[in-house]
Amino acid sequence: MATFFEEGTLVGVLTTQPLDRALDYKAPEGGCHLGAFVEVPLGPRKVLGVVWGAGKGGFDLAKARSVIRVLDAAPMRDEMREFLERAGAYTLTPMSAMLRLATRAPGLGDPPSMRKVYRLGEGEPARMTDARTRVLDAAREMGGLALTLKELAEAAGVTTSVVKGLVSTGAIAEEQSPRDTPFALLDADYGSKTLTPDQTEAAEALRSAQRAQTYGTTLLKGVTGSGKTEVYLEAVAEALRTGRQALVLLPEIALTAEFLTRVEARFGAKPAEWHSGVTLTERRRVWKMVAQGQAQMVIGARSALFLPFQRLGLIVVDEEHDTSYKQEEGVLYNARDMAVLRASLIGAQVVLATATPCLESWANADAGKYQRLTLTSRFGEAVMPEMRAIDMRSEELPANRWISPSLQRAVAKRMEAGQQSLLFINRRGYAPVTLCRACGQQIGCDHCDARMVEHRFLKRLVCHQCGESKPIPDVCPSCEAEDRLAAVGPGVERLAEEAQAVFPDARIAVLSSDLYGTARELKAQIETIAAGGADIIIGTQLVAKGHNFPLLTLVGVIDADLGLQGSDLRAAERTFQLMRQVSGRAGRAEQPGEALLQTFQPEHPVIRAILSGDEEAFWAAEADERRAAGMPPYGRLAGVILSGPDVQSVFDLGNHLARNDAPLRRIGAQVYGPAPAPIARVRGRHRVRLLVKADKGAPLQSALADWAAQVTLKGDLRMAIDIDPQSF
Ligand code: ADP
Ligand code: ZN
């Protein structure tokens, strides 16, 4: 049992207010446990806090204020406090901000919320109708189980007013019941599949790791469709059997619906869900059931890592290479790395599943820090698609056309065979650039350094950096020439227009995140496509992420060179991952697939590696290059982002820091910059970045902290430290 503090003793309470230490309070009447969620006075306010340890004292005890009350929630476990401290120290995040991540439960500690439920009552209605009989029959069929008004009415096929009428006669009883009902139990053996020999071997390795109940990380690598999900669900099953909870992180909320259905088929009931699309009431329920150990499995976004699991045994990070695992605002953390940290503190297993690992994970597996399991072939008859380059230098294409004759012929062939083609372009909107043919000006965002992207579907120009949008103007904002604005370059919407012109009879579906208002609309579209309701799919990155389209046999990448143009050291890795992922969409079922990459540089080493599929060679070459440059994962990097409304003072601060680098030099680290940050202006604030490079073993965090402490931020200047930045 956790340490207990008697009434009146001093306790240190960490609050979610931006103060960077625990404050001393007297334990309330009845005392409190270490880790208890409490309400404390702070100035004139009452705020949420957690009892973090004994008080420091050293002042007049009579002046100490008391904890107001202990909230009705399970105390935070020691291991969770340790996790927050370690994660905070790693990311150089104030503890108050870490605590906010771990207290995202709506109504934490409030009395249980109640709702009305209905069951068969004792009374006899004076007058019976067909509808009334149906309600009573439905209630009788439910046995003792109570339903909500809506559920009962739906079960009986009547309106809710019929049920209410029966309540007034006493034939249906109305009761209050706590809203936070438990989750249905999952059955580890419910819908188990017969695995292939390869899959069996991998599943058995994961199961035995799970049984050991110690920490370990496994990189589960396998081409798209090889059954990685089936395999890691076996690890989940083993966690369930041993009475431990499992967390599965997905990179994209849009994927959860499909995944939930799959989990339900495998374990006979739905798991808990935790992401921004979940209602407050449901989140409250999930939080509570997770803390009680009742919720056995959680599917979630990265923030689910901070749920109060009671006995977490397994964390799966699906599509572990996905950049969306890095939170880029507020607390800058990478959920993949934090999953490994959390698991290592509690003796849990981590499974990193991917077809294309990030170089960091590849290197960890290579160094023997992670176990490596590989599924080499696709399930069933499906084989990896044949990959070929279309050399755009020798294709005849009129201006403002992007579908080459070779690609056109391939699509036509698939249409004749009743199969689907996917045309991939990683650009949302209609055209990436809008410029005036009279004065040559491009339309830019008023708040950022980004160009405005035309979205014809929305009839607006949109900034992809800050989200600002405005109607498409008729006259040029610079020279006021009329009707001279021209779209330049292709986006997904423009490509759809071209495809429709080239294939007038084709049914075309566009998959781009901004075309769907809700996850449900997107899901409906995905289902339509999967059922064969489209001949040509035009899609952005969204399609690369794990949807199953059985009729899809051709993938055409419109611009394979797109990702290679930046100066980012990760460009090769990203392009390789994306191209492999997208190509993997073709030919999942019995039909062999084909992937065609339109490129102006078929000799480029990355393009050649993509085409040959020689992954090990690609990773080894990338690793050599990074090692030579002392870059991650062979060296350490941190970004320091300075921002403010006035560009000069932001640069001045950056230069000041760059000159005063003694704390960094002490650990042999180097400073680069200041330079405009990858996103140089956001919402009217200028952003400047300094990059710090250190050796692998150097105490980077403490040096950074000393370095940053040399400056006081005046006025509207801000500083954020980004450990292990995504782009460099
Ligand atoms: P991945 O996660 O590697 O992309 P999945 O686990 O999604 O692969 O498997 C691809 C498809 O093949 C899914 O529809 C899955 O249900 C099916 N599948 C894979 N392995 C088996 C198996 N052993 N038995 C039945 N179906 C399987
Ligand atoms: Zn903008």
pLDDT, tens digit (0-9, with 9 covering 90-100), for 501-510: 999 999 999 8
How many angstroms separate the alpha carbon of residue 653 from the centre of ligand 2?
A: 24
Answer whether 375's CB lies under 8 Å from 199's CB.
Answer: yes
Residue 37 has pLDDT above 70, yes or no: yes
Structure tokens at 194: 């017969």
Determine whether the shortest distance from the Cβ of 224 to ligand 1 is under 6 A.
Answer: yes
Determine whether the shortest distance from the Cβ of 420 to ligand 1 is under 6 A.
Answer: no
pTM above 0.95, yes or no: no
How many angstroms separate the alpha carbon of residue 585 from the centre of ligand 1?
A: 13
Give the single-character DSSP code of 49.
E
Tell me the three state secondary structure of residue 392. helix
Q: What pLDDT does 143 receive?
A: 66
Determine whether the shortest distance from the Cβ of 379 to ligand 1 is under 6 A.
Answer: yes
Q: What pLDDT does 704 receive?
A: 93
Q: With CA atoms as reference, report the closest residue to 676 among 690, 665, 657, 697.
A: 690
Q: What is the mean pLDDT of the chain?
A: 87
In the sheet that holds 594-599, the strands lie side by side as 386-391, 594-599, 552-557, 420-424, 536-539, 508-511
Residue 588 has pLDDT above 70, yes or no: no
Concatenated DSSP letters of 532-599? T--SEEEE-GGGGTT---TTEEEEEES-TTGGGSS--TTHHHHHHHHHHHHHTTS--SSS--EEEEEE
Answer whether 95's CB lies under 8 Å from 120's CB.
Answer: no
Determine whether the shortest distance from the Cβ of 283 to ligand 1 is under 6 A.
Answer: no
How many angstroms separate the alpha carbon of residue 642 from the centre of ligand 1?
A: 46
How many angstroms separate the alpha carbon of residue 186 from the centre of ligand 2?
A: 46
Q: What pLDDT does 490 receive?
A: 87
Most confident of 86-100, 128-142, 368-382: 86-100
Determine whether the shortest distance from the Cβ of 577 to ligand 1 is under 6 A.
Answer: no
Give 75-86 pLDDT, tens digit per residue.
999 999 999 999
Q: What pLDDT does 642 receive?
A: 92
**Is 358 part of any known ligand binding site?**
no
Instruction: Please state the rounded mean pLDDT for residues 531-552.
Output: 81
- According to DSSP H, which parts of 33-144 are helical? 78-91, 95-101, 130-141
**Is 476 part of any known ligand binding site?**
yes
Greatest CA separation found in the chain?
90
Give 599-641 pLDDT, tens digit per residue.
998 988 888 888 887 778 888 888 888 888 888 889 999 999 9
Q: What pLDDT does 515 receive?
A: 67
Tell me the three state secondary structure of residue 79. helix
How far CA 621 is from CA of 90, 149, 352, 558, 664, in Å, comes to 29, 63, 22, 26, 30
Question: Position of tokens 């170089």?
Answer: 359
Give 219-256 pLDDT, tens digit per residue.
999 987 889 999 999 999 999 999 999 999 999 877 78
Q: What pLDDT does 211 receive?
A: 94
Residue 591 has pLDDT above 80, yes or no: no
Determine whether the shortest distance from the Cβ of 227 to ligand 1 is under 6 A.
Answer: yes
**Is 466 part of any known ligand binding site?**
yes
Q: What is the value of ipTM here, to two decimals?
A: 0.96
Residue 589 has pLDDT above 60, yes or no: no
Confidence category of residue 128, pLDDT binned at 50, 70, 90: confident
Structure tokens at 572: 């090769």
What whole-number percentage of the chain has pLDDT above 90? 45
Instruction: Please state the rounded mean pLDDT for residues 473-477.
Output: 87
Q: Which residue has the higher pLDDT, 140 or 80?
A: 80
Q: With CA atoms as reference, report the closest residue to 90 among 636, 679, 510.
A: 636
Residues with CB under 5 A from ligand 2 (ion): 445, 447-448, 463, 465-466, 468
Contacts of 419 (CB under 8 A, 6+ apart): 551, 552, 553, 554, 591
Q: Tell me which residue has its CA closest to atom 22 in ligand 1.
A: 195
Element (H, E) at 416: helix 405-416
Determine whether the shortest distance from the Cβ of 584 to ligand 1 is under 6 A.
Answer: no
Instruction: Please state the rounded mean pLDDT for residues 552-576.
Output: 78
How far CA 152 is from CA of 160, 178, 281, 391, 548, in Å, comes to 8, 18, 20, 63, 36
Q: With CA atoms as reference, report the closest residue to 404 among 502, 486, 496.
A: 502
Structure tokens at 565: 């143009």
Tell me the three state secondary structure of residue 120. strand
Give 291-341 pLDDT, tens digit per residue.
989 999 999 999 999 999 999 999 999 999 988 899 888 889 999 999 999
Q: What pLDDT does 723 receive?
A: 92
Pick from 229, 250, 374, 383 the residue to mutate for probing ligand 1's pocket: most ligand atoms within 8 Å of its CB.
229
Element (H, E) at 414: helix 405-416
Determine whether the shortest distance from the Cβ of 195 to ligand 1 is under 6 A.
Answer: yes
SS (H, E, C) 637-683: EEEEEEEECCHHHHHHHHHHHHHCCHHHHHCCCEEEEEEEEEEEEEC
Residue 647 region, left (φ>0) first, then alpha (ψ -120 to 50), else beta?
Answer: alpha
How far CA 120 is from CA of 124, 159, 175, 184, 328, in Å, comes to 11, 17, 11, 23, 53
Residue 465 has pLDDT above 80, yes or no: no
Residue 129 has pLDDT above 70, yes or no: yes
Instruction: Please state the rounded mean pLDDT for residues 563-572.
Output: 67
- With vertex at residue 303, the alpha carbon angle to CA 634 and CA 73, rounded to the nearest 5 degrees, is 130
